[in-house]
A and B are shown apart, each in its own frame.
Chain A
Amino acid sequence: MKFSRFTWRIIGLIVLLGFTAFFFVPVIWVLLATTKTDTQLTSAGPFAFGAFSHVAAAWRALFGFQSDAMLEWLKNSAIYSFGGVAIAIVAAVPAGYGLALTQFIGRRTLLVITLITMIMPATALVLPLFLEMNVVSLTDTAWSVILPFSFFPFGVYLCYIFFSSTIPKDLLAAARVDGCNEWGVFRYIALPLARPVVALVAFFAFVADWNNYYLPFVMLSDNSKLPVQVGLEYLISSTEAFNPGNPGAGSELVKRPELALAILVAIAPVAIVFLFAQRTLVKGMLAGATKE
């Protein structure tokens, strides 16, 4: 197809804008939904702006739900996520390095096993995980969530792929020839170069932990320990529009605009982290690291 470069550019722009609309219009809708009342959602248009007072009302209703449960849930989510990410990074980055750039018996087996455990459906792991936590009496505690979170094979694979395809081998060889031991190579050569993948792994770990519903749902029964994802479930079941068999559910004032606000509050931390992490996330930085 011989279109001019200009035509291709236009097509490209249309495609990009089309996808932007696909991805982002729902988010805009949610933002606008918080400014409307429940009836306005269907009566006014989807892009109509309601009033800021409605947002304030929705905020009050949401945070008043179950005596400030929302704040508690957000705090819990933060603790579980940061805890999980911290341990996951400490484990995954060296592991990815070791798998990619050192030799030892069982290296390939480890890779295979990691892949297997990643592919195992989570529903099957619920019971054994629960039993494990029960044996050490950790069920219904923060550790029952943080510890499984810190097992992050996806991150190990990301690091493995990064270290095996990005770090210039002659750089490492040079360092080794200089007398650096393996730890030194990791600490002074690989790690500084690996900042983007560390940021990437930390980011994905954070998002996975923040958004994880299933594990906390199973492990935690005390309401004060729930993270925001599980709390969102209870909000849904308290919304008459989504749970009609529960008459009187609407008495807790959770209507759809409050749900929209809850969605935004639930994702705000991830959005903020992503904004800040963007800079370090995707820098290419091998320019100048090797002489060829």
Chain B
Amino acid sequence: MTPSPVATVPDERTSARRGGRTGGDAPIGTSRTSGYVFVGLYVVLLLLFGIAPTAYAIYLALTKVGGGFAWGSNFARAYDDFRFLPAFEHVGEYLAIWMIAEATLILVLALMLHSLARRTSAAFRFLFYMPGALAGAASVLVWLFMLDPTLSPWHLLLSGMGFSQIDLVLLPTHLPFIFAIMAFWTGAGGWIVVMYGALNNIPDELLEAARLDGANAFQSALRIKLPLIKKWVVYMLILSFAGGTQLFVEPQLVGQATAGLVSNTWSPNQLAYYIAFINDNFNEAAAISVSLLVLGLAGAALLVWRTKLFEIS
């Protein structure tokens, strides 16, 4: 375990932590009930808009359309659907590109910004973040313009690759890459802001000390900065993985705006939407959604367990 940046109170806390869920000996002055008060309003909202709908969705996945338990049959039907496997292949490719870009580029950019003077980095942050302000329809629209060789500022690049019209840009094999670029363009800015903020919370004394010890920028980044923002990085990876498996907006809207060049069941989440709303089969759709949930949770569990995200350190 890397040392925490501030001195920790010896040891009521550590023993409390090892005590597990019941908390063991509570720290001085903490009453058990005060915790409940703090989370009270949130828990109400969580019940209404988180737990209840999720439980209902899981219930739907396990029941038949008319009622009555269906156990695994919704899942079986969903997995058998001819669009199911291709959809997961598409998203798998997308995820590979997206996660790698996220894990590396965002951190690199945040670290670089952190080493600049405050005003300069503020300017860059604003520029990087601007696309993040566009979401959904707006960003897809912008990208439809960007990918169209006749209008795009990148037309030299596009025609250089042999694409003279948008049909050729949106060929099926290119789609995972294109959606990854779009997702990066809209999403990276926000995470860069978060990582930058996290980096800024590292006390200057530590960085000074490292510098005095002879650490260069790389070593400072790898050995000091990154470990200290580990929780934020893990959080970003969890959400990106889960979010990536649930890709919906980009393929859906590109499909709509190009009269169908991208299928409206390209990703698993789109397939779930189609089955729910166009076939009016919420049960089978819920089975797909629950599968996506399990997938996302598996990724999260792995990350949380490996990095001990839930410990109070």
Residues of A within 8 A of B (CB): 8, 12, 15-16, 19-20, 22-30, 33, 41-42, 46-47, 87, 90-92, 94-95, 97-129, 131-132, 147-148, 150-151, 153-154, 156-158, 161, 164-166, 168-170, 173, 176-177, 179-183, 185-186, 196, 200, 204, 207, 211, 213, 229, 232-233, 236, 242-245, 256, 259-260, 263, 266-267, 270-271, 274-275, 278, 281-284, 286-287, 290, 292
Contact = CB atoms under 8 A, between A and B. Distances in A.
Contacts of B27: 103, 173, 176
B137 A229 contact: yes
B201 A116 contact: no
Contacts of B313: 164-165
B248 A123 contact: yes
Contact of A107 (B35, B142, B273): B35
Contacts of B212: none
B127 A108 contact: no
Nearest to B274: A123
Nearest to B153: A46
Contacts of B222: none
Contacts of A180: 29
B212 to A, nearest CB: 16
Interface residues of B, number: 115
Contact of B131 (A27, A132, A173): A27
A33 B35 CA distance: 53
A95 B48 contact: no
A236 B36 contact: no
A74 B287 CA distance: 37
A123 B42 contact: no
A46 B289 contact: no
Contacts of B292: 121
B210 interface: no
Interface string B164-207: 00000000000000000000010011100110110011111000
Interface of B: 4, 6-9, 13, 16, 21-23, 26-39, 41-43, 45-46, 48-54, 56-57, 60, 105, 108-109, 112, 122, 124-138, 141-143, 145-146, 150-155, 185, 188-190, 193-194, 196-197, 200-204, 217, 231-232, 235, 238-239, 242, 246, 248-249, 256-259, 269, 272-273, 276, 282, 285-286, 289-290, 292-293, 296-297, 300, 304, 310, 312-313
Contact of B128 (A19, A176, A186, A286): A19
A29 B201 contact: no
Contacts of A16: 109, 112, 124
A236 B137 contact: yes
